[in-house]
Amino acid sequence: MKRISLIVSSLLSIGILFNSVLAAAVEPIKIGFVVKQPEEPWFQDEWKFAEIASKEKGFTLVKIAAQSGEKVMSAIDNLAAQKAQGFVICTPDVKLGPSIVAKAKAHGLKMMTVDDRLVDGSGKPITSVPYMGISASNIGKQAGDSIAAEAIRRGWDLKEVGAIDVSFDQLATSHDRTAAAAEALVAAGVPRANIINAPQAKPDTENAFNAANIALTKNSQFKHWVAFGLNDEAVLGAVRATEGRGIKADNMIGVGVGGSDSALNEFRKPAPTGFFGTVIISPKRHGQETSELVYEWVKTGGAASIDAYQRLARYPQRR
């Protein structure tokens, strides 16, 4: 009797085991993609490419907008509640790094960061979290070099050029892009004193517009203007501010970073604006490749070795 019940119970447990293995096998992999600024075309593009990855690889993609720290925390809870196994994130505040890492760990979620790298309490990058970003100083240098080349082509005296540095220094990738752009201009011959810091309170066009307006008000002495910043949105803000003061396209050279619809819409306008060009970076790599990497990581259970930087950006000129 004892023997029979033993056999029955072990058969039962095999059955249970079998069922759970089966359940795990058919449970689709679910990956989150959390972005800080869903209204920005760059992030729309990242989502679009993440969706392509999900269709090609056969995982479920959960897109979440998290514009604040609170929303980031609830996004991670939400992903865990819906049994996601991992996520890609571009956080609204990189200083949330330790809390994001702790929360992902508590839920057993694999995590990769994109665009903006998490930092610890002392502002150092959290290198244990896989990251895909751009080589920010290389890209900033390209923006600065392109502005200088165009100013020289127009025959401007570089001493008469005011350079609006639409900065957002609390974000390292922003600081590195704008610092390199400024250095490129100085190397080309723009006096350092002509670089005007225009810090934006938040990295969007409205805040860039406000920052650039202050810079213009305080510096009416310049004959020509140029602008650079974190992204296309920042430079568009500066361009709109110069337009508001009657500075036309022939007296303004703005070069952004991104190359998504923010820039393309500007290039589609019938008449050229002061938004002269953009340094193209790849939302395909940032959206598709990152989510595929997290998917493979979940699928194989292996280690992530995913630090990747885009070193090559392309700079298209408007004309």
Question: Using CA of residue 139, residue 259, residue 249, residue 152, what is the dihedral sign?
Answer: positive
Of 129 and 230, the one with the shorter C-beta distance to ligand FCA is: 230
Interface with ligand FCA in residues 130-169 (CB under 6 A): 134
Q: Select 32 or 256, whichever has its Cβ closest to ligand FCA.
A: 256
Q: Is the dihedral of CA 111, 87, 308, 56 positive or negative?
A: positive
Residue 319 CB, nearest approach to ligand FCA (Å): 24
**Residue 217: CB minimum distance to ligand FCA, A:** 26
Residue 186's closest CA among 214, 235, 221, 147? 147
Q: Are 293 and 287 in contact (CB under 8 A)?
A: no
Phi, psi (degrees; rounded to nearest 5) at 87: -155, 160
Nearer to ligand FCA, 54 or 173 (CB): 173
- Select from 85, 167, 207, 231 the one that contacts ligand FCA (CB under 6 A): 231
Which lies closer to ligand FCA via its Cβ, residue 89 or residue 134? 134
Q: Which of 64/230 has CB closer to ligand FCA?
A: 230
Residue choice 45, 93, 115, 266 for contact with ligand FCA (CB under 6 A): 115
User: Smallest distance, Å, CB 119 to ligand FCA?
Assistant: 14
The site that binds ligand FCA (CB under 6 A) totals a number of residues, namely: 13
Give the shortest CB-208-to-ligand FCA separation in angstroms: 11
Q: Which of 29, 64, 79, 90 binds ligand FCA (CB under 6 A)?
A: 90
Under the criterion CB under 6 A, does residue 116 sit at the interface with ligand FCA? yes
Binding flag, residue 204, ligand FCA (CB under 6 A) = no
* Least spacing, CB of residue 102 vs ligand FCA, in Å: 22
By rule CB under 6 A, what string of x and - marks binding of each residue 270-289 to ligand FCA? -----------x--------
Q: Note whether 176 binds ligand FCA by CB under 6 A.
A: no
The 40-79 contact track toward ligand FCA, x by CB under 6 A, reads x-x-------------------------------------
Structure tokens at 190: 């723009």
Tell whether residue 203 is a contact of ligand FCA (CB under 6 A).
Answer: yes
Confirm or reject binding of residue 229 to ligand FCA (CB under 6 A).
no
At its nearest, how many Å lie between ligand FCA and the CB of residue 42? 5
Interface with ligand FCA (CB under 6 A): 40, 42, 90, 115-116, 134, 173, 203, 230-231, 257-258, 281
